[in-house]
Structure 1
Amino acid sequence: MNKAILTTVFASSLLLAACAKKQPPANTEVPVNLLKVTKKTVLYYDKYPATTAALSQVSLLPQVQGAVTGIFFTEGTHVKKGQKLYTIDERLYKDAYDAAVANLQVSQGTLVQSQQDADRYDYLNKYNAVAKQLYDHAVITLQNAKNSVKSSEQAVKSAKTNLSYSTIYAPFDGTIGLSQVKLGNVVTVGTTVLNTISTDNPMAVDFVINEKQLPKFEKLQFAKKTIDSLFTILLPDGSLYPATGKMSVIDRAVDSQTGSITIRLVFSNPKGVLRTGMSCVVKVHNQDTEPQLVIPSKAVVEQMGEYFVYVAKDTLVNNPKAGADSAKNQLKQLRASEKKVQVGQTIGANVVIKSGIDEGERVVVDGVQTLHDNVQITTANKIGPSAGGKGGK
C-alpha cells in the first residue's frame, strides 16, 4: 500500500515538472510608446481669476435730516459730475438761513450805531468834554458790535451750508445704482445710504498672484516696451473683451497668510461693458520668445506635489545565455529612467518643461502607469494612447 502511494506521488511530480517545462518564460518587458523631445516656439497665456472694480466709489449719505422730496436720475445709468440727484425737504433749513440773514442785518445795524457813538465820544474825549467812563463804555460797545457781526456772519454761512446739503449732487462722473430710498422717506444724517456711485471709465481689474511671480510682474510694470496684447480679459460668458489693459498698481504688501499679492490693471470702458464686481479671467501673454521643450501632459507623473517623466535609456546587461569568454556576454536593453522635472504652462494637451530633461531625449508618453525606475521597456508592441499602459498586439 505504501509502495503504491509513493508511486502515485512520484508520477504526479513528474507530471507537474513536465507541465512547468511547457510554460513559456514570463515577458518582463513593459510595452510603451516613446516621443523624442524637441524645442518649439509656443504661444500661451497665463490665466488668473479676476474681479472688476471701480477706481473711485462712494456711498451717498445725507448731511441733513428730513424727508426726500425729489429724485432726479434714472437708476443704473451714467451721471455727470455736479448733476442733481436728490433733494431733502429744505423748508426748515431755508427758514434757518433767512433767520440768520436777518440776525446779521440787526448786528450790522447795531455796529453802525455803535460806531457812530464811539466816534462822537472819541471827539468829545479829545476836549475832555465827556466822562472817561462813558468814553470807555462806547469803545467796548463798538468792539462787541463788531464781534456780534462776525458771529452773525458765521451763523449765515452755517445755515447756508445746511441749506445747500438739502440738495445732493454727483461728486464725479460715473454710474449710479439703485436708489435705497423713495420719495417721502425720512433720512438720518450720516446713517441712511441714499445710493452708491462709482466711476465706470476706465475700470480696474484686480487679480492675485503668488509672491514667487512678483519679480516677473515688477519687470512688466517698469518695462519700457511690451507687446500690445500683454493683458487681456475673458468676460463671464467666455468672450474676449476687445480692449487691452495696462498695469496700474502692485499692492503695497504680500499677504503673510497666503503668500499672495494683488495686481491691478486698468481697461478703457467707453461702452460700459465692464461693471463693478464682475468675475473675469485675466490673460497675461507670455513674453518668452525662445523655443521651449514641450511634451504631452500624459507623460508627466505627479507624486506628492513633484513631477516626473520616464526617459528611455539604452542599457548594457549581462547575457546569461552567453559563456564567460563569449564576445556577446552583454545585451543591450531599453530601460525606463525616472527623472524629476519642473513643469511650466499647460498648453492644450501639452505642457512646457522648464528643466529636468534635455532636447533629443526619448520620453514615455503611453504606458507610464505601470512603470517604475529602471524597468525594462519595449516599443515592439505599439499601444494606443488610451490603453492605460497595457500592451497591445
Structure 2
Amino acid sequence: MKNKYTLCIAATATLMWSACHNTQKQDQAPPATPVNVITAQKSDAVYYDNYQGAVTALNSVELRSQVGGFITGIFFKEGDVVTKGTPLYEIDRRKYVDAYQQAKANLSSAKANLSKAEKDVARYNMLLKNDAVARQTVDQATAAFETNKSQVEAAQAALSSAATDLSYATIKAPFTGRIGISQVKLGSQITPGSTLLNTISSGNPIGVDIVVNEQDINRFYKIQSNSTDSTFRLQLPDGSIYSKGGKLFAIDRGVNDQTGTIKVRVEFPNSNDVLKDGMSCVLQVLNDDSGNRIQIPYKAVTEQMGEFFVFVAKDTIAEERKVVLGPRIQSNVIITNGLETGEKVITEGFQRLRNGGKITLGPPPSAQGAVK
C-alpha cells in the first residue's frame, strides 16, 4: 500500500513538472526574423501606356480611269515614289484626239457662221433705215444671229468635254506618294470608273491609328492642346523604338456606340520611309503620373486576392502595408499610394512574416546559407 502511494506521488510530480516546463516554453517569445530592407526613395520615373496601333497613310487614293479603252503605256516603276503630276498610265488616245480635233473644227465652223450672221444683221438694219428691205427679213437675220451664237457656245462646250476626255486618257499622280503594284498590264481593257489600276499613298508624314476607351477621351484632348516631343513613342514590330517622336493629328468625330471606343490618329515624320502603310506597331503614350515617384524592388511586393502588400520595418516590428502599384520599370515598380519617402521596406525574409512580427536586420537564413 505504501509503495502504491509513493508511485502516485511520483507520477503527479512528473506531470506537474512537465506542465510547468511547457508553460515556460509557451511564455517565451518567438525568435525575431532576420530581414533585409531598403529605403523607399523617389527617383525619376518616365513610363508609357501601350496601345496597339496600325500605321496608316494620311492620304491614299485608288487610281481608276474615267474613260474606257486599252492600256498603251505604263510609265513608272512599281513601289517607287512618284511626284504629283507624273504620268502613270496611258489609255489609247487616238479616238480622243480625233474627237478633240472634230470638236475644234465644229467650233471654228460655228464661229464662222456667227460672224456671217452678225454681218447680215448689220447690213439689213442699214437697209431697213432706207426702207430697202422688209422688217421680216431683218427679224429673220436677227434670229439667225442668236441661233449661231448658241451654236458657238455649244461647240465650245463640246470642245471642252473632248479636251477633258483626252486629258483623262493620261492618268497622272494626284499627289506625291508611293505607288503600289499595278493591277493591269499593257493591253488590258479598262472600264471607266470600275477597273482598279493601282493605289498611291503618301508616306511622309504618316499616321498611326489607335482605338481608345471612351473614358480616356479627355486625356487625349488634353494632349492635343499640350504635348511635347516625348509624349508619343512608337515601338516597331521588331521591338525597337522608332527614332522620332509623334504629335496628335486628329481625334475622331464621335464614339462608336457598339464598342464604346474612339479612334485617335498620331502623326510621325517618315523621311527615311521606315514606317509602311498597314504596318502593326505599339504606340506608347507618356503616362500622366510620370515624374519623381517612389520606386521599390518588385520582389518586395506580395499579392493577395488581387491586392498588393509590402512589409515596412518599424524598429523591430514588421508592419504589413497595402500599396497601389504603378508600372514596372525593369526590376523596380512604381508605388503610387501606400508608402512614404524614407520608410524601410523589407525586401528579403518577409515570406515568414506576419503583421506585427518581430524582425532583426541581417540576411535571412537562406541568404546566410548561400554565403557560407
- Tell me what 1:41 maps to: 43
1:96-111 → structure 2 map (5 Å cutoff): 96-111=99-114
| Cα-to-partner distance string for 1:122-161 (whole Å, 9 max, x where unaligned) | 2222233322222212111110110011001101100110
Q: Which residue of 2 aligns with 1:171?
A: 174
Deviation at 1:197, TM superposition (A): 0.9
Q: Label 1:99 to 1:289 Cα distance change in 2 as closer, same or farther (>3 A).
A: closer
Question: Which among 151, 154, 159 is matched to residue 156 of structure 1?
Answer: 159
Aligned to 2:79: 76
Map of 2:132 onto structure 1: 129
- Matched residues in 1 for 2:199 and 2:56: separation? 13
Q: Which whole-Å CA distance do the structure 1 matches of 2:224 and 2:96 have between them?
A: 52
| Correspondence 1:1-393 to 2 at 5 A | 33=35, 35-48=37-50, 49-223=52-226, 226=228, 228-284=229-285, 290-301=291-302, 307-312=307-312, 334=317, 336-339=319-322, 341-363=323-345, 365=347, 374=355, 376=357, 382=364
Over aligned residue pairs, what C-alpha RMSD do you find? 3.8
Instruction: Report if the CA contact (8 A) 1:246-1:265 is conserved.
Output: yes
> Partner amino acid for 2:108?
Q
User: Residue 194 of structure 1: SS of its match in structure 2?
Assistant: strand
CA distance in 2, matches of 1:46, 1:308: 21
The gaps in structure 1 that reach 5 residues or longer are 1-13, 315-331, 386-393
Confirm or deny: 8 A CA contact 2:348 2:364 kept in the other structure.
no
- What TM-score results when the alignment is normalised by the length of structure 2? 0.78
Letter in 2 for 1:42: D
> Using the alignment, how far apart are the partners of 1:379 and 1:250 within structure 2?
56
Change (3 A) 1:37 1:127: farther
**Matches of 2:197 and 2:221, distance apart in 1:** 40
- How many residues matched? 349
For the structure 1 residues 91 and 31, does the alpha-carbon distance in structure 2 shift closer, same or farther, using more than 3 Å as the test? farther
Kindly state the Cα deviation for residue 118 of structure 1 after the two structures are TM-superposed.
1.9
Q: 1:154 to 1:384 in 2, by over 3 A?
A: farther
Larger displacement relative to structure 2 (165-174 or 274-283)? 274-283
Once residues 145 and 369 of structure 1 are traced to their aligned partners in structure 2, the CA distance between those partners, rounded to angstroms, is 104
Q: Using a 3 Å threshold, how does the CA distance of structure 1 residues 303 and 278 change in structure 2: closer, same or farther?
A: farther
Whether the 8 Å contact between 2:294 and 2:335 is mirrored in structure 1 is: yes
**2:11 is matched with which residue?**
none
Residue identity opposite 1:46 in structure 2: Y
How far apart are 1:67 and its partner, in Å? Answer: 1.1
Greater CA drift, 278-287 or 233-242:
278-287
User: For 1:220 and 1:153, how far apart are their aligned partners in 2?
Assistant: 55
* Secondary structure of residue in 2 paired with 1:291: strand
Deviation larger for 248-257 or 66-75:
248-257
Which whole-Å CA distance do the structure 2 matches of 1:114 and 1:59 have between them?
50
What is the alpha-carbon distance in structure 2 between the residues aligned to residue 57 and residue 35 of structure 1? 59
Aligned-partner residue type, residue 194 of structure 1? L
CA separation of 1:157/1:39 partners in 2, compared to 1, >3 Å: closer, same or farther?
same
Instruction: Could you tell me which runs of 5 or more consecutive residues in structure 2 were left unpaired when the two chains were aligned.
Output: 1-13, 368-372
Distance 1:302 1:141, change over 3 A: farther
Structure 2 letter corresponding to 1:337: E
Is the Cα–Cα contact under 8 Å of residues 61 and 191 in structure 1 kept in the other structure?
A: yes
> Quick check: 1:344–1:351 contact (8 Å CA) kept in 2?
yes
TM-score by length of 1: 0.75
Give 1:85 deviation, angstroms.
Answer: 0.3
Deviations 1:27-81 (A, max 9, x none): 9999685644512213433042332222211111111111111100000011111
SS of structure 1 residue aligned to 2:185 = coil
Question: Structure 2: how far apart are the matches of 1:370 and 1:190?
Answer: 76
Question: What secondary structure sits across from 2:325 in the alignment?
Answer: strand
Q: Which 10-residue stretch deviates more, 52-61 or 230-239? A: 230-239
Higher share of residues assigned helix? 2
Q: Is the 8 A contact 2:58 2:202 kept in 1?
A: yes
Write the distance in 2 (CA, Å) between the matches of 1:29 and 1:257.
61
CA–CA distance in structure 1, aligned partners of residues 46 and 311 of structure 2:
26
- SS of residue paired to 2:44: coil
Superimposed CA distance per residue, residues 226-257 of structure 1 (whole angstroms, 9 cap, x where no aligned partner)? 4x544332322223333333333344444455
Instruction: Measure, in 1, the Cα distance between the counterparts of 2:57 and 2:274.
Output: 13
- 1:308, 1:302 → 2: CA distance? 5
